Structures are given as C-alpha cells and as structure tokens.
C-alpha cells in the first residue's frame, strides 16, 4: 500500500513538473492594466506605476477601450529552443480586437477572430527588454463588455516565413484576358442619407458600376384621407437620379412591404401583401415609371434574406411558399412593363447550405436555392441572375459558395441555360459593428476575399455593404466612406482594384496561406500593375517580397515606378485622418537578366500595388 501511495505522489509531482515545463513563458508576463484611454499610453516612457498589475487570463468589464503595458524580457528558450538570433513574437488575443505597439510604434492591429502576431524582435538576444503596449477594443458601441486575456504565447517565428523573400513572378508577355472589375459594386439598405452631386462623384471616381438597393418601394405608396391609395415616386426618383449621376446600374431589390399593403401590421415591413394583385400592380407601375422617365432598371432582385425568417406568412404557408409567390408576382409585373428586364433571387443570407451542413454555413440556404431553381425549372419562370449575401467568412468559403450554386444548377438544365450572372448583393467584413470596418484589418480582409474568393470563383457582381457611415468619429459602421465623407481604408483598396489596376490580366505566380497577388497591363501604354495582399487569418506574419517582372520594355530612361500602400500607417483614416487618401511610396527596381526586380517588406493586414510606367 505504501508503495502505491509513494508511486501516486511521484506521479503527481512528475505531472506538475511536466505541466510547468509546458507552460508558455508568455503566460508569466505581468501586465500593467487600465480601462482609461489615451494614445499617450503607447509611449515607452509613459509612467504606468499607478495602474493595476494583472496576468494571463485576466478578466474585466468596461466600455470603449482598455490598455495593457509590459516590458517583455526575451527568455533564453521557448519550447526548448534557444532564442538567440531568432525572431520572437507574441501570439495575442483579448477583447474584440485592438492595436499593438512595440517600442512606441504601431506594430499590428487585429480583430478577435483574426488575432495578431506581435513581432518583438527579428534578432533576439536573451534578456533583451521590449516595451509593449496594447490598446484593446471593447466593442464599437458605448456599452460595457466583458473580456479576457485569452492568448499570450511567446513564440519563435519561422525563419523562412519572416526572413526569406517570397518571390512573386510576373510575365507581361502571357496575356490572360480582361481583368474583372469585381470591386465595382455597392449595396445599401434603407436608402442613402446623401444623394448630392458631390457624394455621387465619390463613387464615380471609385469606378462603381453597379449599386444594389433595397427598400425602394417602402415609401412609394401613400394612403389618402379617404382611404384610397396613391403612388409617390419621390424617393424612388431620387435614387434613380443618383445612379445616373454615379454612372452605374441599379440592382433594384423589391423588398419590404409598403405599410398600406400589409396583410399583418409589421413595423419591420416583413408582412405578405393584403392583396397580391395590388402589390403586383405597384411593382409594375414602378418598372413602367422608371422606363418612362429615362432611367430604365435592368436588374430586379426579389426580396431580401427571407430564408432567415423575416416574413409574416399567410396562414398555413412557410417562408419558401411565400417567397415563391412573391417571386412570381414580381417577375410577371416587371416583365409586363419591360420584357427585357433581368429577374434574380433568392437573396439569401449566408451560404447555400442548410443549418449544420458540414459543407459550409447557411440558414435554409439549400432549401431556398434549390427551391427557387426547381420552381423555375417546372414553371418556366425566368431566373437571369442568382443572388446571396455573405459576411465575415474566409475567402475559401466564399469561393466554395459560388461553386456549390453552380453544382446545384447542374440538376436544373432549363434554369442553368438562362442564368447569366452570379451576384453577391451584400458582402462585408461583419454583419455587426466592428472596429475592423474602420481600419486596415477589414480592408485587407476585403482584398483577400475579393481576389481569392469572388474573383477566383467568377462571381460577376459582388456588392459591398455599404456606402457611408451614419456616425463620426468612426464607430465600426459598415461604410466605405466615413461619416464625414472621407475614405476609409477599404475605399482605398477599392480604388486599387477598380481604378489603378490596368485592364488586361497577365501571368502572376506567387501565393501561400497569407500572400496573394494579381497583375495586369495596359495594352496601349505598357503600364504594368501588380497587386499584393498580405492577410493572415490567424497570427499573420510580416513578409519580405521579391517581385520579379519580366517583359517590361527597358529604355535608357527608367520607368516611373511607385508603390501604393494600405496598412497600419498608410492610407488609413483610423490611424491618421489627415492621411486617409490613398498614399504611395517611390519604388526603385534593379535590373537583373532583363527583369525588373523590386524588394520590399509588407506587414500583416497590408494591401500594396506596384505600378510600373505610370504618369
């Protein structure tokens, strides 16, 4: 018995020792902590002696922001590996997101679903002390939120990842056809607060070519004192004229029932109509009115996210049956006014799968996608373009969604033959208010989603949600422009894709889990553009880039070269409002074996565009 007890004691001691050996040294860092807020707290010499001292797994509750500060000492070893001469960083996660400063300089921003790697040093020496300050975001609203310091691991960073240049090779002689302008779409719910010429010019200047809007008929029907109804096109005309000023196509989303037509009182405008013919007549009159005033609408999308349950159905009906009745009523009304109009749907929220489907996310997605396709296959109803919405998912899910929809179409040959386009009529970083909407994290995510998701899958019309924030200062709203009309980082990324990138795609090789690239050329002038994205889903690393461009016509005079940058410091309204417009840096290449070679470093959450031969 004593032998067994002794053995158990030894086993317990051994377990404790093993646990101690496997505890990451980052968990032992003691932090100074406060729920006050000032960017002065990022200074290495700031006196934080009055702050409380906390450690790993610290929990707290506050609003707006919280700060952690520490002087991090590089240990001799991490996970049994010597640190001398290595790059060392912290894998961090706390709060909703935040911004991390090393020795007083912004290092990286993050979102809690895209946590950061804070690079402390690229050439560590044991005992080196590095000042670190982290401003944690506690939600984009004024409410208090709970948070925890959930991750704080010191790591040795892969040498190959952080030190070796990653080569991107471009061959201007290999032409791949027209470069899709896929970032040329916008989406807006509930109308704009600003229809001015100046605001329209912002989108015209960004190269916006299509603009999806819902709620267009909500105010189109008014009740007279005697109970009769009249059409009022004031709001619709304002939107149609705005599209004309922008120079873009309107994607008219027929959605949200005008109150006078409610079968069931619903302040959210989700009732089915009291009279289907009366509702159909409203849609017909709207299409007819648009044509008569010279602002014809080509694209008509039926309803908005009905798959999530946002509908008051007729007694005994489910949402799909209601949707198909809405679809038939709308397409017949539109085609009566304009036989050449395109009809689309089902405008589902999230992916084309049902709940708990291992293939991907969704809420009745397959039910509604297949339901509409099957209905059109059997009845001959038109389906010219297929629509859905997506927020936040990684780029490979977005690509898979489009591929899945095309697979469904294979089961409905009659419908497949008439579908002309796929359109994501709402997409953005998140469906909630999030600080990433305001900074480079959301912008880099958008670039990766566009290039590796929508463009890769051949989606014709992605529509960024939405146009302009309803707040100032920035509050995590979805707008491409801030409430004061200035561009957010995502607007600068949109400009890179739509305006600066040349027209014809050329061969561009070089991508990994973080990095992606695309190149193009102006066939008339020879101007070459190369877009490079560094976005890591989790703990993304700064990278060194070696860009090799073959086939540029070299003359005695060097071509004008510049590198546009959106990152933590450049072209970033959140970082510096005075530098919110798209910025560029000089780019001086070397010539090696007839190729132009550019070498530069880019942080995580960075989008950069090299232009060769610009004005």
| pLDDT, average across residues 387-393 | 97
Predicted pLDDT at 615:
61
**Mean pLDDT rounded to a whole number for the chain:** 95
Query: Over the stretch 448-493, which tens digit does the pLDDT of each residue have?
Result: 999 999 999 999 999 999 999 999 999 999 999 999 999 999 999 9
User: Residue 435: what are its φ and ψ, rounded to 5°?
Assistant: -60, -25
Residues 339-355 as b or e (16 or more Cβ within 10 Å = b): eebbbbbbbbbbbbbbe
Instruction: Provide DSSP, 312-375.
Output: BPPTT--HHHHHHHHHHHHHHHHHHH-TT-EEEEEEEES-SS-TT-TT---SSHHHHHHHHHHH
Query: Over the stretch 212-271, which tens digit does the pLDDT of each residue have?
Result: 999 999 999 999 999 899 999 999 999 999 999 999 999 999 999 999 999 999 888 899
Structure tokens at 409: 């179409």
Predicted pLDDT at 5:
45
Tell me the whole-structure pTM to 2 decimals.
0.95
Asked if residues 354 and 365 have their Cβ atoms less than 8 Å apart, the reply is yes
| pLDDT, average across residues 587-615 | 94
Predicted pLDDT at 141:
94
In what helix (H) or strand (E) does residue 282 lie, and over which residues does it extend? Answer: helix 276-292
CATH superfamily, with its number, for domain 176-505: Glycosidases (3.20.20.80)
Confidence band for 152, pLDDT divided at 50, 70 and 90: very high
Query: Over the stretch 267-297, which tens digit does the pLDDT of each residue have?
Result: 888 999 999 999 999 999 999 999 999 999 9
Query: Over the stretch 298-322, which tens digit does the pLDDT of each residue have?
Result: 999 999 999 999 899 999 999 999 9
Confidence band for 22, pLDDT divided at 50, 70 and 90: low
Q: Which residues pair with 548 in a beta bridge?
A: 169, 597
Predicted pLDDT at 155:
98
Structure tokens at 507: 């061969």
Predicted pLDDT at 543:
98
User: Residue 315: what are its φ and ψ, rounded to 5°?
Assistant: -55, 130
Confidence band for 126, pLDDT divided at 50, 70 and 90: very high
- The CA distance from 134 to 100, in Å, is 4
- The CA distance from 189 to 192, in Å, is 8
Three-class SS of residue 580? coil
| pLDDT, average across residues 131-141 | 97
Structure tokens at 180: 């899709």
Three-state SS across 209-225? CEEEECCCCCCCEEECC
Predicted pLDDT at 310:
86
- Structure-token match 């010597």, residue found: 82
Predicted pLDDT at 288:
98
Q: Which residues pair with 602 in a beta bridge?
A: 543
Domain boundaries, the chain: 2-163, 176-505
In what helix (H) or strand (E) does residue 252 lie, and over which residues does it extend? Answer: strand 249-254
| Fold assignment, 2-163 | Jelly Rolls (2.60.120)
């Amino acid at each position: 018995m004593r032998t067994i007890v002794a053995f158990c004691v030894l086993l317990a001691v051994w377990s404790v020792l093993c646990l101690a050996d496997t505890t990451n040294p980052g968990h032992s860092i003691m932090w100074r902590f406060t729920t006050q807020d000032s960017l002065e707290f990022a200074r290495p010499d700031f006196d934080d002696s009055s702050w409380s001292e906390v450690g790993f797994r610290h929990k707290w509750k506050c609003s707006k922001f919280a700060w952690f500060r520490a002087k991090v000492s590089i240990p001799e070893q991490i996970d049994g590996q010597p640190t001398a001469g290595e790059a060392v960083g912290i894998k961090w996660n706390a709060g909703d997101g935040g911004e991390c400063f090393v020795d007083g300089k912004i290092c990286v921003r993050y979102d809690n679903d895209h946590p950061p790697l804070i690079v402390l040093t690229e050439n560590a020496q044991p005992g080196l002390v590095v000042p670190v300050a982290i401003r944690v975001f506690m939600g984009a609203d004024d409410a208090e939120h709970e948070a925890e310091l959930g991750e704080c691991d010191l790591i040795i960073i892969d040498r190959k990842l952080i030190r070796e240049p990653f080569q991107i090779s471009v061959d201007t002689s290999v032409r791949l056809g027209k470069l899709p302008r896929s970032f040329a779409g916008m989406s807006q719910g509930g109308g704009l607060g600003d229809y001015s010429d100046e605001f329209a010019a912002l989108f015209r200047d960004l190269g916006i070519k299509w603009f999806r809007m819902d709620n267009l008929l909500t105010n189109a029907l008014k009740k007279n004192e005697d109970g009769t109804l009249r059409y009022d096109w004031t709001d619709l005309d304002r939107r149609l004229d705005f599209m004309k000023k922008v120079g873009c196509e309107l994607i008219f989303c027929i959605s949200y029932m005008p109150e006078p037509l409610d079968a069931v009182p619903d302040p959210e405008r989700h009732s089915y109509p009291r009279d289907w013919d009366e509702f159909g007549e409203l849609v017909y009159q709207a299409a007819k009115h648009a044509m008569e005033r010279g602002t014809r609408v080509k694209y008509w999308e039926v309803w908005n996210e009905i798959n999530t349950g946002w509908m008051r159905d007729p007694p005994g009906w489910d949402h799909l049956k209601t949707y198909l009745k809405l679809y038939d009523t709308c397409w017949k009304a539109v085609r009566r006014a304009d036989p050449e109009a395109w009809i689309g749907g089902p405008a589902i929220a999230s992916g084309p799968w049902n709940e708990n489907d291992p293939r991907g996310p969704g809420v009745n997605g397959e039910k509604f996608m297949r339901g509409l396709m099957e209905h059109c296959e059997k009845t001959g109803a038109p389906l010219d373009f297929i629509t859905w919405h997506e927020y936040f998912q990684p780029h490979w899910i977005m690509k898979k969604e489009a591929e899945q929809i095309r697979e469904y179409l294979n089961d409905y040959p009659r419908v497949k033959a008439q579908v002309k386009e796929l359109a994501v009529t709402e997409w953005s970083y998140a469906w909630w208010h999030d600080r990433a909407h305001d900074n480079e994290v959301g912008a880099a995510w958008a670039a990766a989603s566009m290039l590796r998701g929508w463009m890769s899958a051949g989606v014709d019309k992605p529509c960024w949600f939405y146009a302009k924030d309803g707040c100032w200062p920035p509050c995590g709203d979805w707008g491409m422009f801030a409430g004061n009309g200035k561009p957010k980082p995502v607007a600068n990324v949109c400009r890179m894709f739509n305006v600066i990138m040349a027209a014809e795609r050329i061969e561009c090789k070089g991508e990994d889990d973080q990095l992606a690239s695309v190149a193009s050329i102006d066939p008339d002038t020879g101007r070459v553009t190369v877009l490079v994205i560094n976005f890591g889903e989790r703990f993304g690393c700064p990278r060194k880039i070696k860009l090799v461009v073959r086939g540029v016509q070299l003359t005695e005079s060097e071509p004008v070269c510049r590198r546009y940058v959106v990152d933590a410091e450049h072209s970033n309204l959140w970082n510096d409002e005075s530098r919110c417009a798209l910025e560029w840096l000089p780019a001086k290449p070397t010539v090696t074996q007839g190729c132009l070679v550019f070498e530069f470093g880019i942080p995580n959450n960075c989008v950069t565009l090299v232009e060769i031969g610009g004005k």
